[in-house]
Chains A and B, each alone.
Chain A
């Protein structure tokens, strides 16, 4: 029997964390994602599964609590929104350097600075191009519905442990706040100490006589060793690009024009496609689900078949750089976006396609 519930995106993140068998959540209030922490506290996960939930004194402390928990091989996460995610960047870089699994959710709002509490997608660069210091990558998942938001929590933990790397869910204030039907999964039990020791021999679980000590660090003062470490990280990111690309194609088979959009913008583009096709415009959508690794190949392939591509993003044009790299000049690529918390309408997206691509 399916368990269906009407939930906000933020509530879905919290419920998914409990059901994925998460060991810990460490957060700090910020609009528009505070419901994650509120929902968790109301659910008493320490009684449901033994999960630890703590309101930290800052975003900085919260991500470092995630670092500490992850060092012990625990399934831990934090969530925040853009200004808070900026504060977490130090910790995220350290986690990537120390090869720690963990989940960071960004329910994006408009920036820069304190910006606005309204939705935005202007943290694409931060999520996919670094954000923190050093050569590192996060796997970045961009859900386009509350159901996907729910599903991606478990997926993120699986990927984080598979690669010993932090994973980010990059969603936005629309998906965080809107309510949709969600099919919930079964409760996955939290890992036992024995299971963690077996699955994460690198973790700091307490040194026993049968093994070397475990050390979690991102530091190596020997340049040769540090380079070797960074190259190892690089090989891991290459493997992600090879094996973890996820995307969705909608109405692409006969398309003459293509939208490339992720998350909420992709939902808006679906409506634009409906309206456009009713007018005789053959337009389709490629929706990157992983923003890193980016679906370069499907975009490069479709560039051979279509007359033009419009990226639709709630920002000044960020993902368009990756789309243009993939297209490599084969076809015209333009951007349409709104900022400051304004959500584009399907009609204006279609007008942009007509003006910038079809008529341009």
Chain B
């Protein structure tokens, strides 16, 4: 069989969505960010909404998300993405607007913006990557760091008496009347990736309904910050993160 015979449209089982730029991802090997980027971009491509989509990047590991996504994007100050997105969507109600934030950005410094955008019932999609650590700044304790979990600012493990409790922000915002669809997903296995993509698609489709925030948390790993191999990190995530942050839909619109 020749090369030309193999490279045929009908033989394609996987391709890079053209909405990815050609810039190599800056994420560590094994990190979930790249996978979630792909799911968002595939969703935009499949919905045919490239020219109607505006993304808001955070401060954190995904600060350079706009370098990899070939769509119009803006980069917010730390934690402020939901405020930006609020204005973008209200001023452009026909556009699809999404924020992409990590746990420090969304659940610590940006808690106020997160809760109020959710409570007002803004009509955009929030993607929340929860890896329980500040990755970009080198592995400090995050609002979502588990009790007992080690980080560079909790080197003996998170002592909840001294450092406070981890914040289950997703359960919290699910209580608010302005959230329409709230779910917690993962991207550590092919099955999880497929489920997560469905959730992201739904979260984007929901913007057509104008019913409020659609919120997708992705519990992810940080093998560099956790100081593990990618395989170890995924195993640790399953054994430790998932019991504390159980996967599944938290708030589903009544059909």
Residues of A within 8 A of B (CB): 23-24, 26, 52, 54, 56-58, 60-62, 64-69, 71-72, 74, 76, 90-91, 94, 98, 204-209, 213-219
Q: Mark B85-121, 1 if CB is under 8 A from A, else 0.
A: 1111011100100000000000000001100100000
A64 and B75 CA atoms in complex are apart in Å by 11
Q: How large is the interface on B (under 10, 10 to 19, 20 to 34, 35 or more residues)?
A: 20 to 34
B55-78 vs A, CB cutoff 8 Å, 1 = contact: the mask equals 011000001101001111111110
**Residues on the B chain within 8 Å of A91, using CB:** 77, 80
The contact of B75 among A26, A206, A215, by CB within 8 Å, is A215
Q: Decide if A219 touches B84 in the complex (CB within 8 Å).
A: no
A133: min CB distance to chain B, Å: 11
Chain B residues with CB below 8 A from A60, complex form? 80, 83, 112-113
Instruction: Knowing that A56-B116, A65-B86 touch, tell me 10 more A-B residue pairs with CB under 8 angstroms.
Output: A60-B80, A61-B112, A67-B74, A67-B76, A67-B80, A68-B87, A98-B75, A204-B72, A206-B53, A213-B66
Is B54 an interface position by the 8 A CB rule? yes
Contact check, A74 vs B91: say whether CB atoms are below 8 A apart: yes
Q: How far is the CA of A262 from the CA of B120 in the complex (A)?
A: 41
Are B54 and A213 neighbours in the complex by a CB distance under 8 Å? Answer: no
Interfacial chain A residues near B86, Cβ < 8 Å: 54, 61, 65, 68
Given contacts A60-B80, A206-B52, A215-B66, contact A24 B73 (CB under 8 A): no
Nearest A-chain residue to B55, judged by Cβ: A204
A288 to chain B, nearest CB (A): 31
Is B140 positioned at the interface, with any CB of A under 8 Å from its CB?
A: no
| A217: nearest chain-B partner, CB-CB | B75
Of A23, A64, A66, A98, the residue contacting B113 (CB under 8 A) is A64
**CB within 8 Å for A68 and B56 given contacts A24-B87, A91-B80:** yes
Q: Which of A57, A209, A216 contacts B73 (CB 8 A)?
A: A216
B80's nearest neighbour on chain A, judged by CB, is A64
B72 and A205 form a contact (CB under 8 A): yes
Number of A-B contacts (CB under 8 A): 123
Q: How far is the CB of B12 from chain A (nearest CB, A)?
A: 22
Within the complex, the shortest CB–CB distance from B90 to chain A, in Å, comes to 5
Contact B83 A56 (CB under 8 A): yes
- Residues from chain A with a CB closer than 8 A to the CB of B54 are 72, 204, 206
- Closest chain A residue to B97 by CB distance? A68
Interface membership of B154, Cβ < 8 A: no
Given contacts A69-B91, A206-B54, contact A213 B73 (CB under 8 A): yes
Can you list 20 contacts pairing A with B, beta carbon distance less than 8 Å? Answer: A54-B87, A56-B83, A60-B83, A61-B83, A64-B77, A64-B84, A65-B86, A68-B88, A72-B54, A90-B77, A98-B75, A204-B54, A204-B73, A205-B92, A207-B53, A213-B71, A217-B57, A217-B66, A217-B74, A218-B75
Chain A nearest CB, measured from B191 CB (Å): 32
**Minimum Cβ distance to chain B for residue A355 (Å):** 48
Question: In the complex, what's the smallest C-beta–C-beta distance from A225 to chain B, in angstroms?
Answer: 13
Q: B170 within 8 Å of A by Cβ? A: no
Q: In the bound complex, how far is the Cα of B87 from the Cα of A90, in angstroms?
A: 17
Question: Shortest Cβ distance from A131 into chain B, in angstroms?
Answer: 15
Interface residues of B (CB under 8 A from A): 50-54, 56-57, 63-64, 66, 69-77, 80, 83-88, 90-92, 95, 112-113, 116
**Residue on B nearest A74 in the bound complex, by CB:** B91
Residues of A within 8 A of B80 (CB): 60-61, 64, 67, 91
Interchain nearest-CB distance for A157 vs B (Å): 15
The 3 closest A-B pairs by CB, nearest first: A68-B84, A64-B83, A68-B87
Question: Quick check: B70 and A213 within 8 Å, CB to CB?
Answer: yes
Highest count of chain A CB atoms <10 Å: which of B63, B70, B83, B86: B83
List of A residues within 8 angstroms of B73 by Cβ: 204, 213-216
Known: A68-B84, A207-B50, A215-B74. A61 touches B113 (CB 8 A): yes
Contacts of B71 in A (CB 8 A): 207, 213
Shortest CB distance B159–A (Å): 30
Q: Give Cα A104–Cα B62 distance, bound, in whole angstroms.
A: 29
Q: Please indicate which of the listed interface residues B54, B75, B91, B113 has the most CB atoms of chain A within 10 Å of its own CB.
A: B91
In the bound complex, residues from chain A placing their C-beta under 8 Å from that of B69 are 213
Select from chain A the residue with minimum beta-carbon distance to B92.
A72
Q: Are B90 and A54 in contact (CB under 8 A)?
A: yes
User: Are the CB atoms of B87 and A76 closer together than 8 Å?
Assistant: yes
Bound state CA distance, A76 and B74, in angstroms?
16
Partner of A206, one of B63, B72, B116: B72
Q: Are B112 and A208 in contact (CB under 8 A)?
A: no
* Residues in chain B near residue A68, CB distance under 8 A: 56, 74, 76, 83-88, 91
B-side contacts of A61, CB under 8 Å = 80, 83, 86, 112-113, 116
Contact at A57–B87, with CB atoms within 8 Å? no
On whether A57 and B112 interact (CB within 8 A), knowing A69-B88, A204-B54, the answer reads yes
What residue of chain B has the Cβ atom nearest to residue A204's Cβ? B72
**Which A residues lie within 8 Å of B52 (CB)?**
206
Q: Which residues of B contact A76 (CB under 8 A)?
A: 87, 91
Complex: chain A residue closest to B115, CB-CB: A57
Q: Closest approach, in angstroms, between the C-beta of B207 and any C-beta of chain A?
A: 14
Chain A residues with CB under 8 A of B72: 204-207, 213-215
Kindly name the residue among B73, B85, B90, B116 whose own CB sees the greatest number of chain A CB atoms within 10 A: B90
Docked complex Cα distance between A218 and B95 (Å):
23
Contacts of A24 on B, CB cut-off 8 Å?
87, 90-91
- Which residues on the B side are within 8 Å of A209 (C-beta)? 51
* A-chain residues with CB within 8 Å of residue B75 when the two chains form the complex: 98, 215-219
Which chain A positions have C-beta within 8 A of B112?
57-58, 60-61
CA distance A207 to B49 in the complex (A): 10
Which residue of the partner chain A has the closest CB to B26?
A: A221
